[in-house]
Amino acid sequence: MGVLLARGRARRSGNGWWVGRVPGPASRYMDLNWRRVFRMGGVMKRIGTIYLRLASAALALGFSLPSLAAVERWKLNMTPGVTEVSRQVYDIHMTILWICIVIGVLVFGAMAVAIFRFRKSRGAVAATWSHNDKAEVVLTIVPVLILVAMAWPATQVLIHMADTRNAEMTIEVTGYQWKWGYRYVDSDVSFISSLARNSDDTRQLGSGLSPDQVKSYLLDVDRPLVIPADTKVRFVITSGDVIHSWWVPALGWKQDAIPGIINDQWTLVKEPGIYRGQCAELCGKDHGFMPIVVEVKPKTEFAQWLAAQQNPDAAAAAAAIATTAEPVAAAAAPGQG
């Protein structure tokens, strides 16, 4: 019962542009689309969590669900994301969108009126005037004012986004054809993250396998990037071969990975969760097959995870525990990937 309810609500709430600007608190099991479920409030949150546990248990037992409910289809709009920056970006996006819609309604409305009223078949006789200086001046100045009104908040957000100072940790991201390398600069931990095996098998031409049956098809990796919650993380981004672009929509930005150049960006995610993205710059034949998964862990869990990475011998037990609870299979298991 609870399962059906949660799925129904999720689907209905998912389609409007206007739904929820500020995502609610997230659970660590949460995939991007499930945040909408949790926004329904406490009861729904609990039901959703139960459902998710059931679903992951079913998966663990080897049942394949006919359709993986976490996929939100017919999506129309940008995600508000999970950081302060991503929400600011979303707000600016919505502001400009509404300004454009209002201008569009006025201009196209005037056109529609002209088309219906001033048609020859209705006996309209053409006027002969061909200019009106006052109208032209007004229609130059008003757009300038609207543009200033748009540029002001955009500038503020941009200045905020450009400030990579005071980061608490730094992660080096390196694009390769066609995988991502991550290095925790302060702790001598590094690994490669590539497309998950089941997605890779399914995506082959003529594989005969259905993408519907693969969880997070093309958006899942063998080893996700793990970062701590509530921490300002600075990314330094570069490439080992051609230009790539590192993009997780929920974080609100993408940044090109360019050989010979180091770009930096930052994020601060309050709540734990798993966030997915893809390479966004054409980088060769498998450009579509180098996803990004960021797993945000609570600070203490992150510290344990990092310690385990630094000391793989002691890590086996901890990793095994973590694995059973993670939606991303074998996320932290050393020696894989």
Partner 1 sequence: MAHDASAHRDEHGHDHKPHGFVNRWLYATNHKDIGTMYLVMALVMFFVGGLMAMVIRGELMYPGLQLVEPEFFNQMTTMHALVMIFGAVMPAFVGLANWMVPMMIGAPDMALPRMNNWSFWIMPFAFTVLLLPLALKVFFGIGAGGPAGGWTLYPPLSLQGGDSVAFTIFAVHMMGISSIMGAINIIATILNMRAPGMDLLKMPVFVWAWLITAFLLIAVMPVLAGAVTMLLTDKFFGTTFFSASGGGDPVMFQHIFWFFGHPEVYIMILPAFGVVSEIIPTFARKPLFGYKAMVYAIASIAFLSFIVWAHHMFTVGIPLGGELFFMYATMLIAVPTGIKVFNWVFTMWRGSMTFETPMLFALGFVIMFTIGGFSGLMLAIVPADFQYHDTYFVVAHFHYVLVTGAVFSIMAATYYWLPKWSGRMYNETLGKWHFWLSTVFVNLLFFPQHFLGLAGMPRRIPDYNVAFADWNLVSSIGGFGFGLSQLIFAYIVWDCVRNQSLAKAADRVWEGARGLEWTLPSPAPYHSFATPPVIEDRMLAHADVAH
Binding to partner 1 in span 37-66, by CB under 8 A: none
Is the Cβ of residue 103 or residue 321 nearer to partner 1 in the bound state?
103
Determine, following the binding rule CB under 8 A, whether residue 332 of this chain makes contact with partner 1: no
Is the Cβ of residue 5 or residue 154 nearer to partner 1 in the bound state?
154
Give the tokens for residue 180. 């991502």
Among residues 92, 169, 268, 318, the one that binds partner 1 under rule CB under 8 A: 92
Residues 267-306 close enough to bind partner 1 by CB under 8 A: 277-289
CB of 334 to partner 1, least distance (A): 28
CB of 319 to partner 1, least distance (A): 27
Is the Cβ of residue 1 or residue 125 nearer to partner 1 in the bound state?
125
Is the Cβ of residue 168 or residue 286 nearer to partner 1 in the bound state?
286
219 secondary structure, DSSP code: S
Determine, following the binding rule CB under 8 A, whether residue 236 of this chain makes contact with partner 1: no
Q: How many residues bind partner 1 (CB under 8 A)?
A: 97
Quick one: which H or E segment has residue 190? strand 189-193
Contact 333, 319 (CB under 8 A): yes
Contact 173, 257 (CB under 8 A): yes
Residue type, 26: A
Contact 283, 242 (CB under 8 A): yes
Q: Which listed range, 38-46, 200-208, 292-300, 316-324, lies at the site for partner 1 (CB under 8 A)?
A: 200-208
Is the Cβ of residue 138 or residue 321 nearer to partner 1 in the bound state?
138
Residues 111-150 close enough to bind partner 1 by CB under 8 A: 111, 114-115, 118-121, 124-132, 135-136, 139-140, 143-144, 147, 150
* Other CB atoms within 10 A of residue 41 CB: 9
Question: Is 54 in a helix, a strand, or coil?
Answer: helix
Residue type, 136: E
* 174 Cβ neighbours under 8 A, 6+ residues apart: 180, 181, 182, 183, 237, 238, 239, 240, 257
CB of 314 to partner 1, least distance (A): 37
Determine, following the binding rule CB under 8 A, whether residue 168 of this chain makes contact with partner 1: no
What does DSSP say about strands 233-239 and 225-228: parallel, antiparallel, or unpaired? unpaired
Paired strand residues for 175 = 180, 239
Cα angle 240, 243, 244; round to 5:
95
CB of 216 to partner 1, least distance (A): 7
Question: Is 167 in a helix, a strand, or coil?
Answer: coil
CB of 300 to partner 1, least distance (A): 31
CB of 295 to partner 1, least distance (A): 18
Determine, following the binding rule CB under 8 A, whether residue 176 of this chain makes contact with partner 1: no
Q: How many Å apart are CA 328 and CA 274, to the nearest integer?
A: 9
Determine, following the binding rule CB under 8 A, whether residue 75 of this chain makes contact with partner 1: yes
Determine, following the binding rule CB under 8 A, whether residue 174 of this chain makes contact with partner 1: no
Is the Cβ of residue 58 or residue 103 nearer to partner 1 in the bound state?
103
* 211 Cβ neighbours under 8 A, 6+ residues apart: 202, 203, 217, 218
Give the tokens for residue 110. 């005037």
What does DSSP say about strands 225-228 and 291-297: parallel, antiparallel, or unpaired? parallel
Is the Cβ of residue 216 or residue 304 nearer to partner 1 in the bound state?
216
Determine, following the binding rule CB under 8 A, whether residue 22 of this chain makes contact with partner 1: no
CB of 7 to partner 1, least distance (A): 15
